[in-house]
Amino acid sequence: MGLFSFLKGQFIEVIEWVEDTNSIVYRFPAYDNAIKMGAQLTVREGQAAIFLNEGTIADVFGPGMYKLSTQNMPVLTALKAWKHAFNSPFKADVYFVNTTTITDQKWGTSNPIIMRDKEIGVIRARGFGNYSFRVTDPALFMKGIFGAKGEFHPDQIGGYFKTMIVSGVSDLLAESDVSVIDLARQYDELSAQASAKLQLNFTAIGLELTALVIENISLPEDVEKMIDRRSSMNIAGNLDQYVKFQSAEAIREAAEHGGDGLAGAGVGLGAGLSMGQLFTQSLAGAAKPAETPEAKDAMASEAKEAKEAVPAGQEQAGSTVPCSNCSHPLGEKDKFCSECGTARPELIFCGECGTPRKAGMKFCTNCGTKM
């Protein structure tokens, strides 16, 4: 009786996988133990069971409870050449495949992607996000990916998926021709397009890409700072286009890195003056009215009227100083009277003390000498 119980214990009677790991594929530990014909096979929801005979995929079972027999294992029966009902134990490898959705898988660029932006130019960008997938064809997945391992985890295929997704997303961004400045509002649309684009690659190995999310496309720090400064300029005003702003930025950089001591101070001072001139010219250019023919005619007419309104002999600015001899008005730059030749009052000095004579002075205000 003890020997019979020992022999009976060598036959597998119940085959099932109670999931307690995050494996995608799990090999049932039959090893050298024989499976009893008529054994009970239990396949739970979200699972599939695959029987292999000498490395060849035989029968695949979906969710349900089965009593193994030659009738419900037609492929294995043909491989074993069982022509009639066969109730003796047999040996086969049994694998369970997890067909539920594997979520929260990460993808990201290991190295920056060099791409051409229509507004900024050639830039380096990085991206990251997550994706989900599930096994839809267990037999095809076993043939293409799994092989003969004991267990198979998502991270064992993560590198392959990551490379595939990064390549697909990079190609999609290049084809979409969307500026990196506008990418944030296109994440959902780009994610859906990338998922559809990559679906064929997953289907080829028995998988389905159930979701793909682009969380962020980031730029180098220098490019982000440049975008911030450009935004500031847009808030402040155009100032004769962004080209002048770039010139001002170059001057600022030169001032910051021009060196220490007097040399650095000189560079900083020159940069400050140049920037001041740049902004003054920009503002002056913005305020300058359009020089149309009508405007030129109006300005010429106003100048003519103003000239005619000035009395004769009063054309020169500052002509309010009278000649000390004949009272003829002297211009601001006249040193001698054009009527009598007398020197300008400010050029006549007291012969005693040298005090300049002012208009109307008859005696020196300093020493009293008659002028």
pLDDT band at 313 (very low <50, low <70, confident <90, very high): very low
Is pLDDT above 60 for 203? yes
The model carries a pTM of 0.57
Q: Which of 142-156, 196-210, 265-279, 316-330 has the lowest mean pLDDT?
A: 265-279
Res 60: pLDDT: 93
Q: Which of 35-44, 125-134, 356-365 has the lowest mean pLDDT?
A: 356-365
Q: What is the mean pLDDT of the chain?
A: 75
* CB neighbour list of residue 81: distance below 8 Å, 6 or more residues apart: none
